Amino acid sequence: MLTSRTFVKRTRAGAVVKVVREHYLRDDIACGAAACRLCPRAAPGGGSAPGLEARPGGPGSSLCPGPHFLLPDTNLLLHQIDILEDPVIKNVIVLQTVLQEVRNRSAPVYKRIRDLIQNPEKHFYSFTNEHHRDTYIEQKRGETSNDRNDRAIRVAVKWYNEHLKKIEDEEKTQVIFLTNDRINKEKALEEGITAYTCEEYIKSLTANPELVDRLACVSDEGKEIEGGKIIFPEHIPLSKLQQGIKSGIYLQGTYRANRENYLEATVWVHGDAEENKEIIVQGLKHLNRAIHEDVVAVELLAKDEWVAPSSVVLQDDGQNEENIENEEEKENILKTSINKDMLRPTGRVVGIIKRNWRPYCGMLSKSQIKEARRHLFTPADRRIPRIRIETRQADALEGQRIIVAIDGWPRNSRYPNGHFVKNLGSAGDKETETEVLLLEHDVPHQAFSQAVLSFLPKMPWSITEEDMKHREDLRHLNVCSVDPPGCTDIDDALHCREIGNGNLEVGVHIADVSHFIRPGNALDEESVKRGTTVYLCEKRIDMVPELLSSNLCSLRSNVDRLAFSCIWEMNHKAEILKTRFTKSIINSRASLTYAEAQMRIDSATMNDDITTSLRGLNKLAKILKKKRIDNGALTLASPEVRFHMDSETHDPIDLQTKELKETNSMVEEFMLLANISVAQKIYDEFPEFALLRKHPAPPPSNYDILVKAAKSKNLEIKTDSAKALAESLDKAESPTFPYLNTLLRILTTRCMMQAVYFCSGMDNDFHHYGLASPIYTHFTSPIRRYADIIVHRLLAVAIGADSTYPDLTDKHKLAEMCKNLNYRHKMAQYAQRASVAFHTQLFFKTKGVVNEDAYILFVRKNAIVVLIPRYGLEGTVFFEEKDKPTPKLEYNSEVPSLTVEDTTLCVFDKVKVNVMLDDSNIQHQKMRMVLVEPKILGNDMHASLSAEASSKEEPEKKKMRQK
């Protein structure tokens, strides 16, 4: 049956056109009930395959004890998805009307619903009511789309109940309508439909009282708690915000909370305008219930109300949530006298454009009131405010890591409301803490699905004649790989040999991952979603399944492997005479560690082919590095640590900074050269579609801290170009203070911008500042980085070794992909740092108090940040402590220095600190540091000063890892 709708609309050119929409209705769409003999077994045009049980057992409800299916409306699906995901809830009918609305309103919830429908154990069934002859309805004149959809849902419930009555069964199955919409529920009851709110139904499941904790608080954000004092200004409605943004009254941007100061945030304004790119927001009322990563509208304050970024470290101890006066006192601390040059554009949040809430990991701060149900939840991420939840399981959840979701934030509540989602396990347990850090950094870490694994090659695998097409056989070459100890995902191998004309042939051979991962299949989609392999201290979260990462793609020794080779002809001055690229087959002669390769190069007795090749490579690498540095490339430093684990307990038993050998630099030089050569090739072939990597030059203001710190030691750092910076860093030596140069390089790293992927057709600044290269990409690690797989595909098309596909030459899709890859790489970095922080805490757990030398990296108004070189550990020594007398503090931002009583502490000063693990707060365990030398005269506070070790928990926005 066909129904059609005709309407007219005006085109952009002003012409009026008639549009006819045809809508097909069918009578062969199955209801999904397994017991139904009236519907066709297969649903040719309708919902998913029958998923509802013949005799729905499910949980026993005191409201409807008989067998029943549930049919929720859109808002219930959107807000109570955590309830629906619980294993107890089964046999749910999801209407097409509801599914379409959810899809338009929340992509994450839509994906979760699709997963439930596909899970055979849940018995969720998607019913295509909009194409069923008996359940489709037309929109009435004057009826809103929302009212029409509510009516369509009620019509479908009635049809189901009538339909199920016709099934010959001893006990009739009923359909229960679940809605939290009061008007919709009233209309349903008037029409004879059994309808309950989600809360009514869940509370009727007497055998499962724990489900009540997972109920989302459904009152809208504007609905205040009775009798509560209004704390926050009202949010302006979205329609008015959009008008205000259009007219320039408000600015739209992403809200970024400050980890060190809960009363301060930054809004990064969207768009290309250079001015007011970054707006500071200070104070509870101005922050106005925005949460980290929300898209907000801000109103700029008058210039005489602008503030400077605060140097004060403030954390929400949340002792008394109603004590707003205390918050106002803290806000006054922020407004101390400030140099006018430090003032930045300042604003206030006037409305929320898009909430970007996610489930948050953390711990319950149990209420002191006996048998209380309302408690505060403290998220692990300090940028997220505490969340008020209701739970009956507070005793059981104490000391556990749990997940909580936010439901809303009323104007008269100091904290947002939320609900309990899941218990992850005991705090401090290694497995639990690893799960928390993966969830908190949004690292996809679930096992690879069967759909993904089905695209892997069948074992035993071998190279076929077909594989050899468009491929050179390079198995005769003396190829070897050089990697860290224990590396199983070997991406790259090298060779160097003399050729007949006296020149050298040098090859970089990279695993041919794109041969195994074909565009658009489930394996490819999973790899792009993950974006990168994540290396934790004793765990690796692979981007691709282990069969590829550690076996078929890994360039292990003495096995034939498929590779993508970049081969240069060079003279002995490391000048490139010819470059060629080819798909190849290689057989590595040796898989060496950096130390083993170094030993071969240094050995007077070893002269075999592999050692000769390594010596040739090392000699050329030194020349290449000198050229790069002469060209203005930066050599920076960051303290990296390696843990030695106990073989039985897997706890860290030793911690030392990584030592870099000449061979590290050797491999790095040839990887850089291959990346630059490939970047140029793919850009020449595809000027609009090349996936490249750039490193923007930092704005001059980023260097202020570095220049001031160097000046305090009578050194001059020039920052007008990368070359000037590199040269002045080389000259910044102090014979009496050899570690100073390393500290300057560590500080320089903090001034850098993040290197990012981009599509060449969407940008015109390609320069890589840190490497001083006009063009750069990533080609050399396709086992662990998805960007390299795209670069391999582009290069393969460029040399005629593979065919192209539409998405490869769509610059908008490539730009979107780059955005995801940049996000995944950033999160992987943060997760790795969090893993180091956790293992550092495990290491110090049994050490008691350790006395160590440290250097001051930064000074704050009430604290100093120090670095302990031996452990690569960074921490903050505070000079203000709760319930303790505060010493006299004098902060000088120009030097920069902090005078505590009569002792002045400057950046780069050497100090002695006592380090211990402070586990008084089980969730935020931290390294506590106490200043021992110099002694603060006239004050015994130094003996009890506390510290929070960031252990580089997350970099400031300007930190960056080169390349």
Query: Of all residues in the chain, what percent carry a pLDDT higher than 90?
Result: 37
Which contiguous run of DSSP H or E holds residue 107? helix 107-118
pTM higher than the cut 0.85:
no
Show the CA angle centred on residue 551, arms to residues 545 and 555, nearest 5°: 120
Query: Greatest CA separation found in the chain?
Result: 95
Pairing of strands 897-900, 903-906: antiparallel
The pLDDT tens digits of the residues spanning 506-519 come to 999 999 999 999 99
**What span, in angstroms and rounded, lies between the C-alpha atoms of 876 and 862?**
10
- Residue 680 pLDDT class (50, 70, 90 cuts): very high
- Out of 3.30.479.10, 3.40.50.1010, 3.90.550.10, 3.30.1360.70, select the CATH number for domain 50-214: 3.40.50.1010
Identical fold, 238-315+338-354 and 359-427: yes
Assess whether pLDDT exceeds 90 at residue 815. Answer: yes
The amino acid occupying position 13 is: A
Query: Both tokens of residue 864?
Result: 């100093």
Which contiguous run of DSSP H or E holds residue 156? helix 145-165
Q: Are the CB atoms for 152 and 130 separated by under 8 Å?
A: yes
The pLDDT tens digits of the residues spanning 511-555 come to 999 999 999 999 999 999 999 999 998 888 999 999 999 999 999
Q: Are the CB atoms for 707 and 816 separated by under 8 Å?
A: no
The pLDDT tens digits of the residues spanning 453-481 come to 999 999 899 988 888 888 999 999 999 99
**What span, in angstroms and rounded, lies between the C-alpha atoms of 779 and 793?**
10
CATH number, span 848-933: 2.40.50.140
CB neighbour burial string for 843-873, b if at least 16 within 10 angstroms, e if fewer: bbeeeeebebebbbbbbbbbbbbbbbbebbb
- Mean of pLDDT values over 144-150: 90
pLDDT at position 953: 39
The single-letter DSSP state of residue 307 is B
**What span, in angstroms and rounded, lies between the C-alpha atoms of 146 and 139?**
10
The pLDDT tens digits of the residues spanning 581-599 come to 999 999 999 999 999 999 9
580: exposed, middle or buried (C-beta count within 10 Å: 0-12, 13-18, 19+)?
A: middle
Q: Are the CB atoms for 482 and 660 separated by under 8 Å?
A: no
- Residue 813 pLDDT class (50, 70, 90 cuts): very high
Q: Which residues contact 947 (CB under 8 A, 6 or more apart)?
A: 875, 876, 877, 878, 913, 918, 926, 927, 928, 929, 930
CB neighbour burial string for 61-83, b if at least 16 within 10 angstroms, e if fewer: beeeeebbbbbbbbbbbbbbbbb
pLDDT at position 340: 61
CA dihedral 106→110→111→113, nearest 10 degrees, is 140
Q: Which residues contact 216 (CB under 8 A, 6 or more apart)?
A: 79, 80, 82, 83, 405, 407, 418, 419
E strands in 862-956: 863-868, 873-878, 889-892, 897-900, 903-906, 910-918, 926-933, 947-948
The pLDDT tens digits of the residues spanning 61-86 come to 888 888 899 999 998 998 899 889 98
Query: Both tokens of residue 658?
Result: 């990584």
Pairing of strands 347-354, 92-95: unpaired
**What span, in angstroms and rounded, lies between the C-alpha atoms of 682 and 692?**
9
**What span, in angstroms and rounded, lies between the C-alpha atoms of 663 and 669?**
10
Segments in 631-772 forming alpha helices (H):
662-685, 704-711, 722-731, 740-751
**What span, in angstroms and rounded, lies between the C-alpha atoms of 614 and 873?**
35
Mean confidence (pLDDT) of the chain: 84
The pLDDT tens digits of the residues spanning 629-648 come to 888 888 776 666 665 555 55
**What Å distances lie between residue 657 and 335, 393, 538, 641, CA to CA?**
40, 44, 16, 4
The domain made up of 359-427 has a fold known as: OB fold (Dihydrolipoamide Acetyltransferase, E2P) (2.40.50)
653/718: higher pLDDT:
718
Assess whether pLDDT exceeds 90 at residue 395. Answer: no
Q: How many residues does the chain have?
A: 963
Helix (H, G, I), strand (E, B) or coil at 84: helix
- Residue 231 pLDDT class (50, 70, 90 cuts): confident
Of 87-91, 218-222, 669-673, 934-938, least confident by mean pLDDT is 218-222
Count other Cβ atoms within 10 Å, centred on residue 439: 20
The pLDDT tens digits of the residues spanning 102-140 come to 988 888 888 889 888 888 888 899 999 988 988 998 888
Q: Are the CB atoms for 700 and 717 separated by under 8 Å?
A: no
Ranked by mean pLDDT, the top range of 52-56, 168-172, 687-691 is: 687-691
Q: Are the CB atoms for 863 and 857 separated by under 8 Å?
A: no
**What span, in angstroms and rounded, lies between the C-alpha atoms of 846 and 833?**
21
Assess whether pLDDT exceeds 70 at residue 8. Answer: no
CA dihedral 788→791→797→803, nearest 10 degrees, is 50
The pLDDT tens digits of the residues spanning 741-787 come to 888 888 888 888 889 999 999 888 899 988 889 999 999 999 999 99
Count other Cβ atoms within 10 Å, centred on residue 247: 8
pLDDT at position 722: 82
The pLDDT tens digits of the residues spanning 189-200 come to 999 999 999 989
Q: Are the CB atoms for 16 and 10 separated by under 8 Å?
A: yes
User: Residue 618 CA to chain centroid, in angstroms?
Assistant: 37
- Residue 58 pLDDT class (50, 70, 90 cuts): low
Assess whether pLDDT exceeds 60 at residue 799. Answer: yes
Using CA of residue 133, residue 134, residue 136, residue 139, what is the dihedral sign? Answer: positive
Q: Which residues partner with 561 through β-bridges?
A: 586
pLDDT at position 228: 61
Domain ranges of the chain: 50-214, 238-315+338-354, 359-427, 450-690+773-828, 848-933
Query: Of all residues in the chain, what percent carry a pLDDT higher than 70?
Result: 86
238-315+338-354 has CATH 2.40.50.690 classification: yes
- Residue 958 pLDDT class (50, 70, 90 cuts): very low
Q: Are the CB atoms for 715 and 732 separated by under 8 Å?
A: yes
Give me the phi and psi of 272, to 5 degrees please.
Answer: -100, -5
The pLDDT tens digits of the residues spanning 24-55 come to 888 888 888 887 888 876 544 444 455 888 77
What is the Cβ-side half-sphere exposure of residue 961, based on CA atoms within 13 angstroms?
A: 14
Assess whether pLDDT exceeds 90 at residue 292. Answer: yes
